[in-house]
Amino acid sequence: MTVKYNEDSIKSLEWHEHIRLRPGMYIGKLGDGQSPDDGIYVLAKEIIDNSIDEFVMGAGKRIEIDIKDHSVRIRDYGRGIPLGKVIDCVSKINTGGKYDSDAFQKSVGLNGVGTKAVNALSDYFKVQSFRDGKVKKAEFSRGILQKEYPVEASTQRNGTEINFTPDPEIFKNFRYLPAYMEEKIWNYAYLNTGLHLIMNGKSYTSENGLLDLLQKRVDESIRYDIIHLKDKDIEVAFTHGNQYGEHYYSFVNGQYTTQGGTHQAAFREGLVKGVRDHFKKDYDASDVRNCIIGSISVRIQEPVFESQTKTKLGSTSVAPNGPALRGWVVDFVAKEFDNVLHKKPELAKQLLDRIQQNERERKEIAGIKKLANERAKKANLHNKKLRDCKVHFNNLKNPLHKETMIFITEGDSASGSITKARQVQTQAVFSLRGKPLNTFEHTKKVVYENEEFNLLQHALDIENGLENLRYNKVIIATDADVDGMHIRLLLMTFFLKFFPELVEQKHLYILQTPLFRVRNKKETIYCYDEQERDKASASLGKDGLEITRFKGLGEISPSEFGQFIGEDMRLESVIMPTDASLGKMLEYYMGKNTMDRQNHIVTNLRTDALENL
């Protein structure tokens, strides 16, 4: 059959229609709020970014963010949108003030799309601009103007207020997780010293920028005082601790670049150069950087990101026709780092001790590592432990890579159910044998000496960092009983101890599976807790009611399991609290039985639990 192709085949979409038809082009993935890069957070970020830009330009030192249920309110005290252009700025694509490089030299949002995307993807959107004793208001729904108010007198201070509710037709069953929003707001505070942010009544402010950020992330086990270097348009802070891996928080023009980019790579290079220059020795780069925790923030003109969500910087220069970004960062970090080491010989000695310890540990496990890798090949990993998915992983730019996930489960029955129910194209299964080891007090030797851990790191391909991570989501799937919870904790300890970047970059998740099945002859409802069970029981009535309590994943049939790892899958992201030290947290929960932990358990043990003992 020949497809008809003529003038009627050519379609022109309105701006809001195109955004709604292809939302991923503008805000990345949609999601329900369980992942920090889900679209609902991008919507909030786009509006806050505009308020931050006002602060950077010296207009307004206070931003209010209120998130209630599914609605968001953001109010800044900047200059306010020019009243005659309020509607254009939120509803005409490629319209905004950031094309004028004199007004917004180092802004994040440069293309005039962000606020329009929020408007188009919101069920309700209201903009108010307060300027010189007057206010202009307009209301939209899904990008379409519903009501325009005439300019009125106002007693409110200058600034802009945006209220929006993400469209539930696009963002299914969404919710804003407080931990994700708090991390974002703290980052805004660290990067904009002197700015006062208030979210849901809580105040966020920072006096020392990236130094404050790192001080919240480290504990007393750091090897030397945090080095804090700052100049116009560049700021870095770093130290060495006792945590394996490299830990970076990188930012461009106030944007948290979770996937790094040009500036972060140059920062890492500058650290190595500074050490080599000072000690006059060609230390292995991995020995210099292992166990480092650092942060970098740069401000550049017209930054180029690799996607609309701005998670990785692709710029190669500081400004159009300006100096190379890499050289600028490397030279600054290496020179200033070397200066600090000359001024503080005791700090230099502490740094050298850490580097030499890394060198000894690397050489110590070299032989073990080689044997372990040979064993992994002989174990025929892909047949014995891993049921892989079909996406070609050697090309990590494959668009399907973002959809890939691996379920780590224990036992043949559970892994069998998931394997039969999974989507073979993008979902893989790794089967554990028995309970993993508590790795808290072990060195990295255990990763190679323990067959389960060695095969797991090979399945994920994270031995040398996350650059080749084979799955976007690593999902712990265990039974909802005491043993399952224990396995979950042991796996989380393993990743936090040896591969903390996996958690920091939000790749680790917990699979939530239903505890109950409530059904009668007409309907079946799966429930994830007692409250949902009771609600389902009431809605179905007592006639013919059957309630099943699932004791393990293996009891859920493959046909049922398919519903729980498909579109309606419930995942809980493993996230670090913004004020938590990883070392202290692991010591508290996974160290030897400390009195602090014992007292906490005794103090918080529920009386109904005592009655059941």
Q: Look at 117-131, 365-379, 425-439 and tell me which has the smallest mean pLDDT.
A: 365-379
Give the residue carrying structure tokens 């004028």.
100
Structure tokens at 221: 């086990």
CA 341 to CA 531: how far, in whole Å?
A: 59
184, pLDDT greater than 80: yes
201, pLDDT greater than 90: yes
Average pLDDT over residues 212-220: 87
Average pLDDT over residues 275-291: 95
pLDDT at 41: 92
Give the residue carrying structure tokens 């399945």.
459
Q: Look at 99-108, 394-403, 464-473, 543-552 and tell me which has the smallest mean pLDDT.
A: 99-108
Q: What is the mean pLDDT of the chain?
A: 86
Apex 33 CA angle, 31 and 38, nearest 5: 50
CA 193 to CA 197: how far, in whole Å?
A: 11
Residues 6+ apart with CB under 8 A from 91: 15, 16, 116, 119, 140, 143, 145
CA 81 to CA 158: how far, in whole Å?
A: 9
Q: What percentage of the chain carries pLDDT values higher than 90?
A: 46
Give the residue carrying structure tokens 């991923």.
24
CA 220 to CA 296: how far, in whole Å?
A: 22
DSSP codes, 565-599: SSTT-EEEE----TT--HHHHHHHHHSS--HHHHH
CA 518 to CA 537: how far, in whole Å?
A: 7
pLDDT at 393: 56
Average pLDDT over residues 156-179: 93
| C-beta of residue 252 within 8 angstroms of C-beta of residue 265 | no
CA 541 to CA 599: how far, in whole Å?
A: 44
155, pLDDT greater than 60: yes
pLDDT at 111: 45
CA 514 to CA 504: how far, in whole Å?
A: 27
* Structure confidence at residue 106 as a pLDDT band (50, 70, 90): low
CA 198 to CA 373: how far, in whole Å?
A: 51
CA 7 to CA 28: how far, in whole Å?
A: 32
Extended beta strands in 177-223, E state: 196-199, 202-204
Give the residue carrying structure tokens 């060495």.
240
Structure tokens at 251: 């930012």
CA 354 to CA 205: how far, in whole Å?
A: 33
* 3-state SS, residue 109: coil
* Structure confidence at residue 412 as a pLDDT band (50, 70, 90): confident
CATH architecture of 383-513+560-580: 3-Layer(aba) Sandwich (3.40)
One of 3.30.230.10, 3.40.50.150, 3.60.110.10, 3.40.50.2300 is the CATH number of 210-362, namely 3.30.230.10
16-204 folds as Heat Shock Protein 90 (3.30.565)
289, pLDDT greater than 90: yes
108, pLDDT greater than 70: no
112, pLDDT greater than 60: no
pLDDT at 103: 44
Residue 477 pairs in a beta bridge with 409
CA 348 to CA 356: how far, in whole Å?
A: 12
The type of residue at 53 is D
612, pLDDT greater than 50: no
Average pLDDT over residues 101-110: 53
110, pLDDT greater than 50: no
Query: Can you give the residue ranges of every domain in the chain?
Result: 16-204, 210-362, 383-513+560-580, 516-549, 587-613
- pLDDT tens sequence across 416-437: 888 898 999 999 999 988 889 9
Residue in 550, 565, 568, 527 with CA at minimum distance from that of residue 421: 565
pLDDT at 609: 46
363, pLDDT greater than 80: yes
Average pLDDT over residues 382-390: 76
Give the residue carrying structure tokens 């990188």.
250
Q: What percentage of the chain carries pLDDT values higher than 70?
A: 89
- pLDDT tens sequence across 519-559: 998 899 989 889 999 999 999 988 889 999 987 787 888 88
CA 72 to CA 53: how far, in whole Å?
A: 19
Burial of 52-90, coded b for 16+ CB within 10 Å and e otherwise, reads: bbbbbbebbbbbbbebeebebebbbbbbbbeeeebbebb
| C-beta of residue 459 within 8 angstroms of C-beta of residue 532 | no
* Structure confidence at residue 173 as a pLDDT band (50, 70, 90): confident
pLDDT at 27: 83
In Å, how far are 16, 244, 253, 391, 588 from 189, measured between CA atoms? 32, 28, 13, 40, 29
For 188, half-sphere exposure in the C-beta direction (CA atoms, 13 angstrom radius) is: 31
pLDDT at 416: 84
* Structure confidence at residue 10 as a pLDDT band (50, 70, 90): low
| C-beta of residue 207 within 8 angstroms of C-beta of residue 227 | no
Q: Look at 12-16, 117-121, 140-144, 492-496 and tell me which has the smallest mean pLDDT.
A: 12-16
CA 198 to CA 329: how far, in whole Å?
A: 33
Give the residue carrying structure tokens 């044997």.
371
CA 316 to CA 325: how far, in whole Å?
A: 5
Choose from 59-68, 251-260, 596-605 the range with maximum mean pLDDT: 59-68
Residue in 117, 101, 158, 106 with CA at minimum distance from that of residue 18: 117
Extended beta strands in 426-507, E state: 427-432, 473-477
20, pLDDT greater than 80: yes
Residue in 225, 392, 254, 377 with CA at minimum distance from that of residue 313: 254
